[in-house]
Amino acid sequence: MKDFDEAYAKHADAVFRYALRLVGRRDEAEDLTSETFLALHRNIAGLDLSQLPGWLFAVARNKAMDYWRHSKVEARYLDTLPPPETTWSPPLQMWLSESKALKPIHRACLILRYVHGMTREEIGGQLGISDVQVKGHLQYARALLRAEMERKAP
């Protein structure tokens, strides 16, 4: 039990972050983390603890595969995909892609807000920051991009 508690204290955050990236939803990531550590709890006696955290990540990935393979989840996402031949991009997307001034956090906030139409709360949930922080990043990023557009305007 001591080994398990130590492993949980040490790796729970990393496993959760990985799970969140794998399934994209905080509630699902919590379930996935829970199942992963439950598997560790059941197998810890026969496990070489030097295999951690790799073993945990492998279990989390397998469980994420199970989640995505659930027929309803797959069908829902297949229905929402753009057609494979879609190559059209609005001008804003090109600006976002080509800008050199944007930092990763700014680019991520802009894409999620203006390409995917997410709310500030949803963006915060996706990136792990507050919606107030998202608002600040968006304001700053818009100013940066506007300045770049004006500089490059013919």
Q: How many angstroms separate the CA atoms of 74 and 15, rounded? A: 23
Residue 151 neighbours by CB distance under 10 Å: 8
CB of 128 to another protein, least distance (A): 3
Looking at 6, 51, 58, 74, which residue binds another protein (CB under 8 A)? Answer: 74
User: Which of 50, 104, 151, 154 forms a contact with another protein (CB under 8 A)?
Assistant: 104
Q: Which of 128, 132, 136, 147 binds another protein (CB under 8 A)?
A: 128
Site for another protein in 7-66 (CB under 8 A): 8, 12-14, 16-17, 20-25, 30, 33-34, 37-38, 41, 61, 64-65
* Residue 81: φ, ψ to 5°: -70, 145
Spatial CB neighbours of 105, under 8 Å, sequence gap ≥ 6? 127, 137
Which is nearer to another protein, 50 or 83 (by Cβ)?
Answer: 83
Contact 82, 36 (CB under 8 A): no
Q: Is 133 in the site for another protein (CB under 8 A)?
A: no
Of residues 80-99, those binding another protein (CB under 8 A): 80-82, 84, 86-93, 95-97
Site for another protein, rule CB under 8 A: 8, 12-14, 16-17, 20-25, 30, 33-34, 37-38, 41, 61, 64-65, 68-69, 74, 76-82, 84, 86-93, 95-97, 104-105, 107-108, 111-120, 122, 126-129, 138-139, 142, 145-146, 149
